Amino acid sequence: MKKQRIFHCVIICAFFIGSILQNAVYAANVKITGHINVNDSSAAVYALIKRIVPKHAAEFQIKFIPKDNDKDVFELESSGNKIILSGNNGISIASSLNYYLKNYAHCDISWNGTNLNLPKRLPVVPSKVRRVSPYKYRYYFNYCTFNYTMSWWNWDRWQWEIDWMALNGINMPLAITGQNAIWQRVYKSLNFTDDDLASFFSGPAYFNWFWMGNLDGWGGPLPQSIITGQEELQKKILAQERGFGMTPILPSFTGHVPSAFQTRYPESKLKKTKWSTFSPAYVLDPDDPMFTVVGKKFLDEEIKTFGTDHYYTADTFNEMIPPSNDSLYLDNITGKVYQSMLKADKDAHWIMQGWLFYHDPKFWHPKQVKALLNAVPDDRMIILDLWSENHPVWKTNNAYYGKPWIWCMLLNFGGNISMYGRMDVVAQEPAKALKSPEANKISGIGLTPEAIEQNPVMYELMLENAWTDQPIDAAEWLKGYAWRRYGSKNQYADKAWEILHHTVYTGGIMQGGPESIITGRPTMAALTGGTRPHKNYAPKDFYPAWGYLVKASSKLKSSDGFQYDMVDVTRQALVNYADTIQRQFAAAYAEHDQKKFKILSDKFLMILDDVDNLLGTRKDFLLGKWLNDARKWGATPDEKDLFEKNARDLITLWGDEKATLHEYASKQWAGMISGFYKPRWEQYFKYVNAQMALQKPIDQKQFETDITHWEWNWVNSHETYTDKTHGSSITEAQKLYKKYHTEMDEIYL
């Protein structure tokens, strides 16, 4: 047997080497542009195939083909006993593999459950498939994604994500990891000390708001170990992305400097900026001669360290009002930022988020928007229309006045756990914009979520647009989605998805999914600061989907994707019910019915226990994983404690006890409910019951002031939470349906 295995390995290696040589020869007759090296891309794609389908890797062969009129293209066909994956670069070839897995093998790859149960003999492709992308750019990431989801990612997790990006046709990822090492070297070259930078660099959970100039120092001081570790991680990220033929977007300078800048350069012109409840940060005036000096130094050092693909991100006024609305001032700022790029890279292209135009519409009138944009040549700037599915800014700003722009789906804010999406909009509007004269230079589509690893159906549907210029029939698409996600067709699963489509996934125009009251500071009100339980669907219309999945569970229980969906739908049904119970116990309090209040508040806490236990069956919903991954980045016990505090703070208070962003993340996670949300509600119920017994009103404001001290103590504590799952997701969901469905039937049906 050992000899057979060795012989088998030799045959596979010979096949891979032969294929690589074949493609190298073929590439000599193909015009490959940009930074792509065909041999490197061949190696990257074959390595991806081995990671994705290791037992069948030898049955795939890759081939490089020319672009189609300067557009990315892939082909798929069978030849002999091989599946031939062809494309103009590694991304296109990986997309060909994904197309095969989805449409012929009925498989699905997602963050939240993967089905790769391939038959022993791979299905044949009966006739050649050819797909051309109508979009030059397929963009990925929001600044915030790098913290709300990716703060603690290691290389293994990053490699999986980059593979997923390639499989789904993404060719332009934001790549901002590791830049603190660059800033450190730049500012030390300008005679800044470690003490100067200690109050400048934020903690690792807050990097992106630091990089965007919103805050300084919060969550620090930043240890050298993670500065170095993130730099090394970025090198691996970029090598993998470029290996597939992606064009990573690197950060550039927008003026944010240490507060010590005035001390080191007394003549410098600094402006204070204020964001949320944080201390002011400092921005160097673009007219200051040091602006282009610092900007050039940063890009020079960045290019020296990471290389470049000539695309840079810069956002000058992220959620902050500029000090002047004068056109000349705004034009000057943009011009200076762009000039600082050009001094280091004559081929620089600027990628700008269009978020500021949505966030402050009272300031950004057409005159101001045009002034900000016009200082950069049209062919050197691309605008991300960050929230196209809800607020298409391109429609109110003349498609960005001649600049190329990208239609983006934002979807999630803060990483909140909630079933939500605007499925029909995502399925129809990109293709409509592509054909609209008013859309002018629409050049791509993109994903810009503040966090990922939830609502996988929405991301897969959005990326279905990458290789078609036609609107998608979401209802028909969902049938195929359920089949490949679960591994077989099932009538009850189809009925469940039909309901989900027309309830949670026909969400209204709102800031991400509706949260549950369970994650908010305890209250008798229908909503509470940071938490918005308002839904754009009736819970009674959603509820039957749970029953249909329970009916499907006996046949689909072995599917990883089904297990996730069973947990997610059960979770959503139960927290919707908890919101109903909250309104009932609030009514009992208003009626001074203490006995009824006690019964209902106890039921509310029971639901929290049941949801927490259910979520503990899936790796996707574990607080312990988030905290333990944070601690792994620490090189010493003190660093581990600091990173854990960062991780706890970001998903609860966000800042200190007076922070206004508390509950922004609204994490319905196992451990988060039992360790944070439930104890808050228990304290509240104890207080309310005591006041009712004394026939005294509650002081809501005082309770909220008091509870912030407890919350801050939790942020600073170190009790452990498991990062291991327990039990069966299907068994727990079935048990909870049996427990609750009779009383929920009475309410909903």
pLDDT, tens only, 124-145: 999 999 999 999 999 999 999 9
CA distances from 232 to 151, 156, 180 (A): 15, 13, 12
Residue 144 CB: number of other CB atoms within 10 A?
21
For the segment 144-154, the average pLDDT, to the nearest whole number, is: 98
Choose the CATH number for 494-748 among 1.10.3720.10, 3.30.300.30, 1.20.120.670, 3.30.830.10.
1.20.120.670
Q: Which of 598, 717, 720, 607 is nearest to 668 (CA)?
A: 607
Q: So what's the pLDDT on residue 5?
A: 39
Residues near 442 by beta carbon (within 8 Å), at least 6 away in sequence: 394, 399, 404, 405, 406, 407, 433, 434, 436
**Model confidence at 409: pLDDT above 50:** yes
Domain spanning 137-480: which CATH class is it, in words? alpha beta
pLDDT at 38: 67
Q: Quote the pLDDT of residue 304.
A: 98
Secondary structure (H, E, C), 380-429: HEEEEECCCCCCCHHHCCHHHHHCCEEEEECCCCCCCCCCCCEHHHHHHH
Residues 555-581 have pLDDT tens digits of 999 999 999 999 999 999 999 999 999
Q: Which of 318-327, 338-347, 683-692 has the lowest mean pLDDT?
A: 318-327
Q: Which pLDDT tens digit goes with each residue over 440-483?
A: 999 999 999 999 999 999 999 999 999 999 999 999 999 999 99
pLDDT score for 286: 85
Q: Give me the pLDDT at residue 12, please.
A: 38
pLDDT band of 2, cuts 50, 70, 90: very low
Model confidence at 316, pLDDT cuts 50, 70, 90, reads confident
**Pairing relationship of beta strands 250-251 and 311-313 according to DSSP bridges:** parallel
For residue 236, give both structure tokens: 């691996």
As a whole-number percent, the residues of the chain with pLDDT over 90 amount to: 89
Q: Compute the average pLDDT of residues 187-202.
A: 97
Residue 3 pLDDT > 80:
no
If DSSP codes are grouped into helix, strand and coil, which group holds residue 55?
helix
Whether pTM > 0.85 for this model: the answer is: yes
Concatenated DSSP letters of 590-605: HTT-HHHHHHHHHHHH
Residue listed under structure tokens 């990315």 = 72
Rounded Cα–Cα distance for residues 561 and 553 (Å):
12
Q: What region, left, alpha or beta, does residue 5 occupy, with left being phi > 0 and alpha being psi -120 to 50 degrees?
A: alpha
Please give the pLDDT value at position 52: 98
What pLDDT sits at residue 37? 64
Residue with the larger pLDDT of the pair 1 and 127:
127
Q: What pLDDT score was predicted for residue 29? A: 33
Q: Give per-residue pLDDT as tens, 326-383.
A: 998 899 889 999 999 999 999 999 999 999 999 999 999 999 999 999 999 999 999 9
Q: Which residues contact 489 (CB under 8 A, 6 or more apart)?
A: 482, 483
Note the pLDDT of residue 520: 96
pLDDT at 40: 75
Q: Which of 57-61, 168-172, 228-232, 312-316 has the lowest mean pLDDT?
A: 312-316
Pair 376, 345: CB distance under 8 Å: no
Look up residue 642 and give its two tokens.
Answer: 């600091």
CB of 100 closer than 8 Å to CB of 56: no
Indicate the domain borders of the chain: 15-132, 137-480, 494-748
Q: Is the pLDDT of residue 297 over 90?
A: yes
| pLDDT higher than 60, residue 108 | yes
Q: Where residue 532 falls among pLDDT bands split at 50, 70, 90?
A: confident
Stated length of the chain: 749
List the CATH code of the domain at 15-132.
Answer: 3.30.379.10
Query: What's the order of all strands across the beta sheet hosting 270-273?
Result: 256-257, 281-284, 270-273
Question: What is the average per-residue pLDDT within 288-300?
Answer: 95
Tell me the pLDDT of the chain averaged across its residues.
93
pLDDT in tens, 4-60: 333 344 333 433 433 333 333 333 333 333 344 666 789 999 999 999 999 999 999
**pLDDT of res. 343:** 95
Res 105 pLDDT > 90: yes
pLDDT of residue 317: 80
pLDDT in tens, 592-621: 999 999 999 999 999 999 999 999 999 999
